[in-house]
Structure formats: structure tokens, C-alpha cells
């Protein structure tokens, strides 16, 4: 019964977060689109508008997860228990962030965004995403691991962008350091976070989202050499980290079967 409850809760959580996200653009909530709010909170870390189209891929992937986990055959699978109520919590945090963001509670929105990031990291760790596991089927990798890799990748970038926008709104002067320099520093922070999450893990999806976001930042600031160049360097470093993680977690070759000795 507990597993059935989790399945239903996950469905409800996905429907709720998808609905609020659609309304945030369709209405929009509080009469302000996310783009208008971002324009009012300038920072040197907000990627070009087209970059946000990745939400379509993320929600399509999460829809696949929601349907897959709801199948009767998945009810007794270990992944459902490992996720527990974390997906529902992440959905609540996502919704809370959207409402706080659209209604102008920017400092509070930062708290919700960090909560969302932490929840997704917990899911990532509990599911051991990217770890070698011969028992995982192709469907498990595509419909469980890939959705949360994409989601976490984007929220990693979104959290840093949210912090940059909110601190700018609050009037923080960055200890007198130019905003462009802080943007470059934050991109390097993204590399460090990626390194921690990709070390000993095979996760090209997570790395791919970060690279996508970094090139979105570059596209938004092509006229700012420091930001554009740092974005490219960070993207290259993350790609290398992903390849190293992929290499470190490769499956060892099966030992050769000894041949019987003949007289």
C-alpha cells in the first residue's frame, strides 16, 4: 500500500508542478512573465532566452518517469523506495519558487531554489545515478536516471543564476568586485559542483545540460570577452570531467575463461 501511495503521490506532484509552470507562462502569474522578471533583475549569469527551451525536454523526461514509476510492474522496484517522497518535495519547492519569484519575494525564492537543488541531489545520490549497475535495464536508465540528470543539471545552473539575480536586487556590491568577474567566478563554481557530481559517475546527460547553459550564457554576452571566454572554458572543463567520469566507471572486461589442459 505504501508503494501505491508513493506512485499516486508522484503523479499528483508532477501534474501540480507542470500545471503551475504552464500557468506561469500562460497567464502569466501576477501578470509578470519570467523573462520580464529576469530583465528587471540584471546579472551577468542569465543565459540567452532560447536556453530556457530545455524545460520542454525536462518536463517530457519527467512525464516519462511519472508514467514509468506508476506501472504495476515497477511497484516493488527499489528505486521507488529510494526516491520516497523526495520527488513530491522537489515539486513543492519548484512551485514555491515560481510563486515567490512571480510575486516579488526574491530572497525567499532563493531559499526555495536551494531547497529544490538539495532535494534533487539527494535523489541523485540515493539512486546512485551514473554508477555502474548491471541490473539496470535500458528503460531504467532512460526513464529514471536520465530525467533526474537533466533536471539536476538545469537546477544547478538555475540556482547560481537565482543567487546572482537576488544579490543584485538586494544591492550587494560584491565586495567591490565587478559583476563580470563574479559571473566568471560563478561559472567556475559550476565546474566544481559538476566535478563533485560527475566524479566516478557516468552521466553525460547532466554534463550536457550544463554545457548547454554555459553556451547560452556565452550567447547572451558575446560582447563581454571575460564572460564569453570563461563560459567556453567552463564548458570544455565540464566536458572533460564527464569523459573522465565515463572512463573511470567503464565496465571491466570479463576475465578469460581458463582452457582445460590437454595431455
Query: How confident is the model at residue 145, as a pLDDT?
Result: 95
The Cα–Cα gap between 17 and 246 comes to 32
At residue 258, the pLDDT reads 54
- Report, as an integer, the average pLDDT of 93-104: 96
Better-scored residue on pLDDT, 262 or 142: 142
Give the integer Cα–Cα distance in Å for 101 and 106.
Answer: 6
Q: Are 73 and 195 in contact (CB under 8 A)?
A: no
Q: What is the 3-state secondary structure (H, E, C) of 200-259?
A: CCCCHHHHHHHHHHHHHHHHHCCCCHHHHHHHHHHHHHHHHHHHHHHHHCCCCCCCCCCC
pLDDT bracket for residue 10 (50, 70, 90): very high
Q: Look at the chain and count its residues.
A: 263
Distance of alpha carbon 16 from alpha carbon 174, whole angstroms: 37
Q: Which three cell numbers stand for residue 46?
A: 542569465
Q: How confident is the model at residue 261 (pLDDT cuts 50, 70, 90)?
A: low
Nearest by Cα to 135 from 208, 222, 187, 77: 77
Distance from the Cα of residue 137 to its chain's centroid: 22
- Residues 85-100, mean pLDDT to the nearest whole number: 97
pLDDT at site 60: 98
Determine the pLDDT at residue 161.
Answer: 92
- Which cell numbers in the block locate residue 22? 504552464
Q: What pLDDT does residue 254 have?
A: 44
C-beta separation of 169 from 112 below 8 A? no
216-229 CB burial, b ≥16 within 10 A, e <16: bbbebbeebeebbe
Contact by Cβ (8 Å): 233, 212: no
Question: Cα–Cα distance between 225 and 234 in angstroms, integer?
Answer: 14
Q: What is the mean pLDDT of residues 178-203?
A: 91
Q: Where are the domains of the chain?
A: 2-172
Q: List Cβ neighbours of 169 (8 Å cut-off, separation of 6 or more).
A: 41, 106
Instruction: Work out the average pLDDT over 136-144.
Output: 93
pLDDT at 253 (0 to 100): 44
Amino acid at each position: 500500500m505504501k508503494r501505491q501511495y508513493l506512485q499516486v503521490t508522484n503523479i499528483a506532484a508532477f501534474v501540480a508542478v507542470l500545471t503551475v509552470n504552464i500557468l506561469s507562462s500562460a497567464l502569466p502569474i501576477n501578470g509578470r512573465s519570467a523573462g520580464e522578471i529576469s530583465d528587471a533583475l540584471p546579472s551577468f549569469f542569465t543565459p540567452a532566452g532560447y536556453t530556457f527551451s530545455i524545460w520542454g525536454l525536462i518536463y517530457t523526461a519527467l512525464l516519462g518517469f511519472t508514467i514509468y514509476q506508476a506501472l504495476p510492474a515497477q511497484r516493488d522496484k527499489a528505486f521507488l523506495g529510494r526516491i520516497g517522497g523526495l520527488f513530491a518535495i522537489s515539486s513543492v519547492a519548484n512551485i514555491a519558487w515560481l510563486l515567490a519569484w512571480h510575486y516579488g519575494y526574491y530572497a525567499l525564492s532563493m531559499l526555495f531554489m536551494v531547497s529544490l537543488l538539495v532535494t534533487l541531489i539527494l535523489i541523485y545520490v540515493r539512486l546512485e545515478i551514473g554508477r555502474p549497475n548491471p541490473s539496470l535495464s535500458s528503460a531504467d536508465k532512460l526513464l529514471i536516471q536520465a530525467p533526474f540528470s537533466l533536471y539536476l543539471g538545469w537546477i544547478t545552473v538555475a540556482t547560481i543564476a537565482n543567487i546572482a539575480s537576488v544579490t543584485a536586487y538586494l544591492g550587494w556590491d560584491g565586495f567591490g568586485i565587478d559583476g563580470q568577474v563574479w559571473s566568471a567566478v560563478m561559472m567556475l563554481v559550476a565546474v566544481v559542483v559538476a566535478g563533485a557530481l560527475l566524479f566516478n559517475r557516468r552521466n553525460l546527460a547532466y554534463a550536457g545540460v550544463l554545457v548547454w547553459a554555459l553556451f547560452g550564457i556565452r550567447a547572451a554576452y558575446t560582447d563581454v570577452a571575460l564572460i564569453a571566454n570563461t563560459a567556453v572554458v567552463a564548458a570544455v572543463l565540464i566536458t572533460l570531467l564527464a569523459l573522465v567520469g565515463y572512463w573511470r566507471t567503464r565496465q571491466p572486461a570479463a576475465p578469460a575463461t581458463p582452457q582445460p589442459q590437454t595431455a
